[in-house]
């Protein structure tokens, strides 16, 4: 048995989709365990480009089982849209290879309303959410009133819960100038959607544990990144789920000691979407170069990503928080044309030095990076498949990232295609 968690070590958008898709070939089952359709994965297979935000990346391999765990918040209409999109491209999603946990909370239209209305009202204080209703859906989960996938099979339960939800949400909506929830219409819509997805809804925790007994390989696919974690991220500029590796156990029902390895995905520079501190952000021509060369636009919202140099203390912290056993370094080729490359090795506020992000946002907003500078390699690394083809200076950069993050690199991605990858070690093995 070999089970692997893949997580992002930065602020998301590290290129997890491609790596998960690649490693899916070695897995029997791929599980999403947190987040919702705020995530975005772009997968390139030959001349086909797939953009998914809810279905696990492994779903495009038809011999694999794809699973949405209980830690996810699920918008059933978005799910149907993605299933239909894949069906229309010849990829059949059927209930013997796609499962949804029966205790997965639903994202409903009023969650999205609340998300957008609050962001509008917050003005300059906004989080910069994806506007998908993620935060409000997790609030209802923790508030013990969420409608969960399993409820869809029981109309009376749906009615009862909608009553409770309406009581709670109509007050919030009134405060934000929105009309009351139309309970009856929502009930009818949920019954319709239920008919289409009920067949996928199963006791996922049990099925996964049975698979483990049969020595199957499970790949847990994280969404977002560790710096967006609700506890350890740059709070309040974070998402509303636990994005670190520990969430794989809680969000799927597989005990933590059944999972052996954690692959941390790390972009060769740093990006962030939305508001919040980012010490290495570059607003100059190099920032624009990284943005253009790296095509740094959000998969879900199309927003421009903020770009900056590699932040080593941040990745080192993520490696510890996640128990990362090895790193997958992505988008190294984006740096190919730079004369000089900087790596952040610490931070400073006036004369005081920091080795880590302080917990307070007002302090972390003031961090200025301490940089080390190295020579660029000025050679294309696009599509390289072997480490000894990598220019010496690029190898020195990778080695420095390993030293500073105190973690070895097992995979280097040199382009969006599956074969544009250097495999140094098998990340499924410790
Ligand atoms: P929410 O998850 O929509 O509530 O957004 C909260 C914060 O997380 C915002 O800054 C978003 O831009 C960010 N965020 C959420 N999902 C992703 C993602 O998949 N990649 C990068 N940032 C994300």
For residue range 349-408, list pLDDT tens digits in order: 999 999 999 988 889 999 999 999 999 999 999 999 999 999 999 999 999 999 999 999
Answer whether 292's CB lies under 8 Å from 31's CB.
Answer: no
Give the start-to-end residue ranges of the domains of the chain. Answer: 3-102+201-258, 109-197, 267-429
User: Residues with catalytic annotation?
Assistant: 13, 41
Distance (Å, whole) CA 348 – CA 279: 10
Question: For residue 427, what pLDDT is reported?
Answer: 87
Same fold flag, 3-102+201-258 and 109-197? no
pLDDT surpassing 70 at residue 430 = no
- Do residues 55 and 15 touch, judged by C-beta distance below 8 A? no
What is the CATH superfamily name and number for domain 109-197?
Adenylosuccinate Synthetase, subunit A, domain 2 (1.10.300.10)
Atom of ligand 1 nearest to the CA of 53: 19
What per-residue confidence (pLDDT) applies to 32?
97
- Ligand 1 contact, 222 CB (< 6 A): no
Task: Show the tokens assigned to 397.
Answer: 């950069």
Alpha carbons 69 and 220: distance in angstroms, whole number = 10
Is the minimum distance from the CB of 344 to ligand 1 under 6 angstroms? no
Return the residue whose CA atom lies nearest to atom 21 of ligand 1: 12
The minimum-distance atom of ligand 1 relative to the CA of 40 is: 19
Q: What stretch of H or E contains 210?
A: helix 204-213
Rounded distance between C-alpha atoms, residue 362 and residue 159, angstroms? 45
* Confidence check: pLDDT of 204 > 80: yes
Return the ligand 1 atom nearest residue 300 CA: 19
The structural architecture, per CATH, of the domain 267-429 is Alpha-Beta Complex (3.90)
Calculated CA dihedral for residues 22, 66, 271, 389, nearest 10 degrees: 0
Q: Is 76 in the pocket of ligand 1 (CB under 6 A)?
A: no
Q: How far apart are the two ends of the chain, measured CA to CA in Å?
A: 12
CA distance 23 to 28: 10
Ligand 1 centre from 421 Cα, in Å?
27
Tell me the average pLDDT across 206-232.
97
Instruction: Choose one of 71, 133, 228 to mutate for the ligand 1 pocket test, by most ligand atoms within 8 angstroms of C-beta.
Output: 228
Q: Which atom of ligand 1 is nearest to the CA of 130?
A: 3
Nearest CA to 274 among 13, 78, 74? 13
Using a 6 Å cutoff on CB, does residue 52 contact ligand 1? no
- 323: its two tokens: 């128990």
Superfamily for domain range 3-102+201-258: Adenylosuccinate Synthetase, subunit A, domain 1 (3.40.440.10)
Q: How far is the CA of 13 from the centre of ligand 1 (A)?
A: 10
Q: Assign 303 a pLDDT band (cuts: 50, 70, 90).
A: confident
CA 415 – ligand 1 centroid, Å: 24
Ligand 1 pocket residue status of 13, Cβ below 6 Å: yes
> β-pairing, 261-267 with 326-330?
parallel
CA dihedral angle for residue 345, residue 349, residue 350, residue 352, rounded to 10 degrees: -70
State percent of the chain over pLDDT 70: 100
User: What does the buried/exposed string (b/e) look like for 252-283 if buried means 16 or more CB atoms within 10 Å of the residue's CB?
Assistant: bbbeeeebebbbbbbbbbbbbbbbbbbbbbbe
pLDDT tens readout for residues 65-76: 999 999 999 999
Instruction: Check pocket membership of 427 for ligand 1, CB cut-off 6 A.
Output: no
Report CA(272)–ligand 1 centroid distance (Å).
Answer: 9
Choose one of 233, 273, 298 to mutate for the ligand 1 pocket test, by most ligand atoms within 8 angstroms of C-beta: 273
Confidence of residue 114 (pLDDT cuts 50, 70, 90): very high
Residue nearest to atom 15 of ligand 1 (CA): 38
Which amino acid residue places its CA nearest to atom 16 of ligand 1? 38
Q: Ligand 1, atom 20: nearest CA belongs to which residue?
A: 12
In 80-173, DSSP assigns E strands to 98-101
Can you read off the two tokens belonging to residue 366?
Answer: 């003031």
Residue with tokens 């903020």: 306
Whether residue 17 has its Cβ less than 6 Å from ligand 1 = no
Q: Answer yes or no: is pLDDT of 17 > 70.
A: yes
- Alpha carbon of 385 to ligand 1 centroid (Å): 32
Note whether 99 and 150 are within 8 A (CB).
no
pLDDT value of position 49: 86
% of the chain surpassing 90 pLDDT: 88
**What's the pTM?**
0.96
Residues 6+ apart with CB under 8 A from 115: 129, 131, 132, 133, 134, 135, 136
Q: Average of pLDDT values for 290-315?
A: 92
pLDDT in tens, 82-113: 999 999 999 999 999 999 999 999 999 999 99
Give the mutation target among 274, 297, 298, 305 for probing the ligand 1 site: most ligand atoms within 8 A of CB.
274
Grade residue 1 by pLDDT with cuts at 50, 70 and 90: low
Helices and strands in the chain: count of H runs, count of E runs: 12, 18
Cis preceding-peptide flag for 116 (omega within 30 of 0): no
CA angle at residue 279 from 274 to 281, to 5 degrees?
60
- State residue 62's pLDDT score: 87
């Amino acid at each position: 048995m070999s089970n692997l968690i893949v997580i992002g070590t930065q602020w998301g958008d590290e290129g997890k989709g491609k790596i998960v898709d690649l490693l899916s070939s070695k897995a029997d089952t791929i599980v999403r365990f947190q987040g919702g359709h705020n995530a975005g994965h772009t997968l390139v297979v030959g001349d086909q480009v797939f953009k998914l935000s809810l279905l696990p990346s492994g779903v495009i391999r038809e011999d694999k089982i794809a699973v949405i765990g209980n830690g996810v918040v699920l918008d059933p209409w978005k799910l149907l849209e993605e299933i239909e999109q894949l069906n229309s491209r010849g990829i059949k999603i059927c209930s013997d290879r796609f499962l949804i946990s029966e205790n997965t909370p639903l994202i409903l239209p009023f969650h999205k309303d609340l998300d957008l209305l609050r962001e509008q009202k917050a003005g300059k204080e906004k989080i910069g959410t994806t506007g998908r209703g993620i935060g409000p859906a997790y609030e209802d989960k923790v508030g013990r009133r969420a409608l969960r996938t399993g409820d869809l099979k029981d109309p009376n339960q749906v009615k009862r819960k909608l009553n409770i939800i309406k009581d709670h949400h109509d007050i919030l909506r009134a405060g934000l100038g929105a009309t009351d929830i139309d309970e009856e219409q929502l009930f009818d819509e949920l019954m319709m959607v239920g008919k289409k997805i009920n067949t996928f809804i199963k006791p996922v925790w049990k099925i996964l544990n049975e698979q483990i007994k049969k020595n199957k390989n499970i790949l847990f696919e994280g969404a977002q990144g560790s710096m967006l974690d609700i506890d350890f991220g740059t709070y309040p500029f974070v998402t509303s789920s636990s994005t670190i590796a520990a969430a794989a156990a809680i969000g799927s029902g597989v005990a933590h000691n059944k999972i052996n390895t954690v692959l941390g995905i790390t972009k060769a520079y740093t990006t962030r979407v939305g508001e919040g501190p980012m010490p290495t952000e570059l607003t100059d021509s190099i920032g624009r170069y990284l943005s253009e060369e790296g095509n740094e636009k959000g998969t879900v919202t199309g927003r421009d990503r903020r770009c900056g140099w590699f932040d080593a203390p941040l990745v080192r912290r993520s490696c510890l928080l996640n128990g990362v056993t090895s790193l997958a370094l992505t988008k190294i080729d984006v740096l190919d044309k730079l004369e000089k490359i900087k790596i952040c090795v610490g931070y400073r506020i006036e004369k005081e030095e920091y080795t880590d992000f302080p917990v307070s946002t007002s302090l972390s907003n003031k961090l200025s990076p301490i940089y080390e500078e190295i020579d660029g390699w000025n050679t294309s690394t696009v599509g390289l498949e072997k480490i000894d083809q990598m220019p010496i200076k690029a190898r020195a950069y990778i080695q420095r990232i390993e030293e500073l993050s105190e973690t070895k690199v097992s995979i280097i991605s040199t382009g969006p295609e599956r074969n544009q990858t250097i495999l140094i070690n098998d990340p499924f093995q410790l």
